[in-house]
Amino acid sequence: MSRPYVIDELISAKSIAARIEALAREIKTKFRGTDKLVVVGLLRGSFVFIADLVRELDLPVEVDFLEASSYGNSTESSREVRILKDLRGEIGGRDVLVVEDIVDTGHTLKHVISLLNSREPARLACCALLDKPSRREVDVKADWIGFEIPDEFVVGYGIDFAQRNRNLPFIGTVRFTDTQDET
Ligand code: IMP
């Protein structure tokens, strides 16, 4: 049985929208003049973010998706990242923007960047909505970050806890309400 929990709002829907407008302005500046920007959403957590972000980008865009899954265990610092769903389109010689929900340990983003770079895009940049720098295990950095957050488990705005809460319009932290201490 799952433990009872409540969600405390961390970042409001209004703050997210304002931040996305600002991110889009910077991204447009970098990619102004591009033929067609391939915006790659990492499934599943980025699906709400990418939907709002592309609507703020008045550039010619193509949207594609990649699904990666990372397997780790507490005894090993290295994690294996597997590609569960690859891109439909080619990115060789194209401008690419990778859109991620959260950079946590960094293994997923590092693996995806290296995979996509091996396909020789013209330019590749990455935008992550959230960053938890205190959790980083590998050296990787997104070009744009929406919000830096502490080491808390978050949900909402596309991000889940055991496949729940993706449809919340804001980002919140999970707080367990039973007597156990650990989250
Ligand atoms: P990384 O490889 O450890 O950086 O993993 C990043 C992925 O872990 C994100 O794309 C999320 O899917 C997931 N993740 C990391 N932190 C959280 C969280 O607080 N809530 C929900 N999912 C998370």
pTM score above 0.85? yes
Answer yes or no: is pLDDT of 75 > 90. no
| Cα 57 from Cα 71, distance rounded (Å) | 33
pLDDT score recorded for residue 23: 98
pLDDT score recorded for residue 70: 76
Which has the minimum average pLDDT: 23-27, 34-38, 56-60, 68-72? Answer: 68-72
Residue 2 within any structural domain of the chain: no
Domain enclosing residue 132, as ranges:
13-152
Q: Where are the alpha helices (DSSP H) in the chain?
A: 13-31, 47-56, 107-117
Nearby residues of 164 by Cβ (< 8 Å), 6 or more positions away: 155
Answer yes or no: is pLDDT of 183 > 80. no
Which CATH number does the domain housing residue 87 bear?
3.40.50.2020
Answer yes or no: is pLDDT of 80 > 60. yes
Of 10, 47, 101, the one to substitute when testing ligand 1's pocket (max ligand atoms within 8 A of C-beta) is 101
| Cα 161 to averaged position of ligand 1 atoms, centre (Å) | 10
Provide mean pLDDT across the span 12-37: 97
Beta-strand pair 61-71/37-43? parallel
| Cα 154 to averaged position of ligand 1 atoms, centre (Å) | 9
Number of domains present in the structure of the chain: 1
**Mean pLDDT of the residues in the chain:** 94
| Cα 52 to averaged position of ligand 1 atoms, centre (Å) | 20
Atom of ligand 1 nearest to the CA of 81: 2
Nearest CA to ligand 1 atom 16: 104
